[in-house]
Structure 1
Amino acid sequence: MDLNTYLLTMLVSFSWVFTQKSIKWQVGTSNTNFCQIKSSLQYWKKCRYTIICSFSSYMNIQTSCRTEVLIFKGNYVPEMPLHILNGTDYESLDIVDMSNNHINIIKGRTFHKVWNVRTLILDHNNLEITDEEHPRMFSNFENLERLHLTNAFTEEVNATDTLLSLEDIFYESDLRLVKILHLEQNEIWEIGNNKRVFCQLPALTQLMLGDNRITDMDFVIDCLQELYYIDLERNNIARLSQTAMERLDNFHGAPTRKERPLQIKLLGNPFVCDCRSTDFYHWLLKTQVPLIEKEDYSCTDGFPHSNVGKHLLTVRSSDVCPTSMAAVAKFDVVMQKGHLKVFLYPQGAILILSYILSNNYILLLNMHYFHRKQLKDSLQKGHSYIIKKVFFAGI
């Protein structure tokens, strides 16, 4: 490598490092060259005065007081600085979109004078809210109505622990006006011990939990009197528990729900059609809770195997819980290598097999007892042989 090539390589490397670290040092400077000003951009079906700062390396932008929408995404900002809007009053600012910025930490004073913002979007970041928690990070969003946290949290922390901290943030930030909460794609398995995590959002009307790994609706909703939509599509729900079904029925049947009924979306879950799901099938047929597109719910797995692929609403109790072994044989005949194999397990065969295994076990115990001295001598000889072998191999 000649000297010119080496210097050019070093210059490019230095420029890249400087670019990645320049954010924390550029706060408060004018970087309008990296932003686009759209005085009448069509955004969310309305023409708005919009500032777009994407795929740059700079944090703070000198924006107009007329700004209604601030879009700052596709950047690298692991730690949000304080007062990113320079303490300016933006009376018209309605939407702040800071998605896809690799954000890890948001401090309590990061957002200042944003009391008129109604929509905050923090999708596709890497937020850590458990170790270095700032529970008042959203406290200045006094009129916030829509909070987008899709794929927003680090995967290095258990999602259940993240939800515990999130409840503290909801409470300390006093988000009593939030109506729509997006928590899709956050690797959530279960809500955990804190079933009332969403009760800190009393005005909540829509709860989006799609594309997680939730196995049941294990959270409380009776505290959310305005709630009318829950999205649980594409999770890991095999069937709803009895507690979840009763909770939904009671909430839907409450006197305050007559004007706007609760709707649930469960499409895309891997429903299992077997004996354990009988109560769930009956509930699907009789419940008054509006289940969106429930006619498309299908069996991803099940027993007998012939139930796989069926629509849940067409499955009968006798299909999943046959009353006789003849019924099991009828449904569990499968083709394998050109031969029919019938999976029948008569009770007599199971008893005979158990008897044979028990006798063999007792026989082995007797042999061990009556020949314990011979077994002990044999084991000692084998142990000595192995020790010597290892010793000489080491030499």
Structure 2
Amino acid sequence: MKPSVIVVILCLIVLQTNCEDKCHPKCICQTKILRCLGFTQDDIESDAFANSITTDLERIHITDGNIQELPRNLVGSCADDSSYHLDSLVKLDLQNNMIQKINGQTLHCMKNLEELNLANNQWNVSTVHTRTFTNIQQLKKLNLSNALHDQIDSRDHIKHLRLVFLESGLDKLEVLALDNNKFSVYDKDTANVMCTFSALKRLNLAHNILPSLTFYHVKCLTHLEYLDVSYNSISTFEDYSNHNGLLFSLDQIKKTSNVSVNFIGNEFDCDCHLQGFHDWLKRTEVHVFQKNKLTCHDGLLFNRTIMSVQSAEFKCFSVNSSSNRSGNKAAIGVLVTMFVLLAIFLSAIAYIKRDTIKHFVTSFKRPSMAKKHLLGNYSSVNNENATDIEV
């Protein structure tokens, strides 16, 4: 064997040994891919993890751990040394780590990152660190599914998240997942923030508690392809004449994009207010996912599919008739309750005073028996007298 070949083999062996030595014990270091499982706070801040980071990495997966706080410069301090820039990194997966705090400079040094997964964490979105995403402006996919702290009001989360998004400049973002976060508000302020995502194609808001959504179709979400609002608290829709309402906005978006929407799992009140949605389903060119399975949850049309109902069947009861029925039912309920309480009260009194009542009844019977006895005596006397006369 030639000496040059032996040298090459030895070099490869040395390089492989060095790579294995640098790899954190809880990680698997592959070519351009780093996978770490079950990290703790100490692991994420250790020199062993820092040594596992190489500038040629394209994907980093740190999952299923217990990391309370993501430190500054998570994958190296590129501010101190430009050689720490991870220009090849396109995907960072941090799901299932119980993360509560993300520092403002956590995601520096990865300017070409395209996909960030923060699903299934406990992030407390802070107003202090609003520049969380400012250095990843090439981002195309952001997964925040079930990512926010359970014990904090969702209204605070959405308010703080709006500030973070406004600072981010994510004008290349195409996919945003915000499902399973107990959001109860999607108002005009939220709609304004969504306007900053000018390239957005897919928006997932499923499994929240949103009663309605406000959209600004004229300048926002013109590239939207899929909107998922399944399993929320939508019971009815704003009138179609409201140009910031969801139905009108979807029709306008349809003119520039082949948009689809998912309403499955919402509990619709099929009264007169839902007639506009029914008519919209019949005529719209927007693709409505499983629209023939959307059902009435309340009212006289309970459990019927919305598409099977005729427009004239969507009715509302008048306030007066409803009030009268409610008043009659209430009056009957009060009377029945009073009667039952009175019966219970009298029964209780009778039980407590049972000896007195027994004595009263006995004393009432005695005079009657005495009277019968006297009448019996008088009858005997009369009979005796009659006998004497006959004699």
TM-score, L = length of structure 2: 0.68
Check whether the contact 2:92–2:116 (CA below 8 A) recurs between aligned residues. Answer: yes
Residue 55 and residue 323 in structure 1: after superposition, are their counterparts in 2 closer, same or farther (change >3 A)? closer
Offset, 1:209: 0.4
Partner of 1:227: 224
Partner of 1:147: 142
* Structure 2 counterparts to residues 5-20 of structure 1, below 5 A: none
Partner of 1:108: 104
Amino acid at match of 2:60: L
Which residue of the other structure, out of 159, 178, 192, is the alignment partner of 1:183?
178
Q: Please tell me whether residue 53 in structure 1 is matched to residue 36 in structure 2.
A: yes
Partner of 2:269: 272
CA RMSD of aligned residues (A): 3.2
Offset, 1:116: 1.0
Offset, 1:214: 1.0
Deviations 1:297-325 (A, max 9, x none): 112x2221xx222111001234342899x
Provide the secondary structure at the position in 2 that maps to 1:102.
coil
Deviations 1:210-233 (A, max 9, x none): 111111123434422222221111
Partner of 2:133: 138
Partner of 1:308: 302
Deviations 1:20-68 (A, max 9, x none): xxxxxxxxx96522101244xxxxxxxxx32110113211442232221
The CA distance in 2 between the partners of 1:348 and 1:124, in whole Å, is: 47
Residue 65 and residue 281 in structure 1: after superposition, are their counterparts in 2 closer, same or farther (change >3 A)? same
Q: Please tell me whether residue 122 in structure 1 is matched to residue 122 in structure 2.
A: no
* Structure 2 counterparts to residues 313-328 of structure 1, below 5 A: 313-321=307-315
TM-score, L = length of structure 1: 0.67
Offset, 1:133: 2.7
Offset, 1:120: 0.4
The CA distance in 1 between the partners of 2:327 and 2:230, in whole Å, is: 47
Check whether the contact 1:217–1:244 (CA below 8 A) recurs between aligned residues. Answer: no
Check whether the contact 2:222–2:256 (CA below 8 A) recurs between aligned residues. Answer: no
Check whether the contact 1:218–1:244 (CA below 8 A) recurs between aligned residues. Answer: no
Partner of 1:66: 56
Q: Please tell me whether residue 156 in structure 1 is matched to residue 139 in structure 2.
A: no
Where does structure 1 lack aligned partners over 5 or more consecutive residues? 1-28, 40-48, 325-344, 358-395
The CA distance in 2 between the partners of 1:125 and 1:286, in whole Å, is: 41
Amino acid at match of 2:39: S
Provide the secondary structure at the position in 2 that maps to 1:181.
strand
Residue 238 and residue 351 in structure 1: after superposition, are their counterparts in 2 closer, same or farther (change >3 A)? closer
Amino acid at match of 2:210: I
Provide the secondary structure at the position in 1 that maps to 2:292.
helix
The CA distance in 2 between the partners of 1:214 and 1:282, in whole Å, is: 22
Check whether the contact 2:215–2:246 (CA below 8 A) recurs between aligned residues. Answer: no
Provide the secondary structure at the position in 1 that maps to 2:61.
strand
Amino acid at match of 1:147: L
Amino acid at match of 1:66: D
Provide the secondary structure at the position in 1 that maps to 2:92.
strand
For these two proteins, the number of residue pairs brought into alignment is 295
CA radius of gyration, larger in: 2
Check whether the contact 2:166–2:193 (CA below 8 A) recurs between aligned residues. Answer: no
Partner of 2:295: 298
The CA distance in 1 between the partners of 2:324 and 2:129, in whole Å, is: 63
Which residue of the other structure, out of 7, 13, 37, is the alignment partner of 2:29?
37
Q: Percent identity?
A: 24
Amino acid at match of 1:114: M
Point out 4+ residue stretches in structure 1 off by more than 4 angstroms.
243-246, 345-354
Offset, 1:107: 1.3
Which residue of the other structure, out of 73, 83, 86, is the alignment partner of 2:73?
83
Residue 33 and residue 213 in structure 1: after superposition, are their counterparts in 2 closer, same or farther (change >3 A)? same
Amino acid at match of 1:35: C
Amino acid at match of 1:146: K
The CA distance in 1 between the partners of 2:226 and 2:316, in whole Å, is: 36
Amino acid at match of 1:311: T
Residue 72 and residue 347 in structure 1: after superposition, are their counterparts in 2 closer, same or farther (change >3 A)? closer
* Structure 2 counterparts to residues 356-375 of structure 1, below 5 A: none
Offset, 1:348: 12
Residue 257 and residue 289 in structure 1: after superposition, are their counterparts in 2 closer, same or farther (change >3 A)? closer
Amino acid at match of 1:283: W
Provide the secondary structure at the position in 2 that maps to 1:33.
coil
The CA distance in 2 between the partners of 1:129 and 1:284, in whole Å, is: 38
Deviations 1:102-138 (A, max 9, x none): 11111111122111110000001111124x5311111
Partner of 1:92: 88
Amino acid at match of 2:307: L
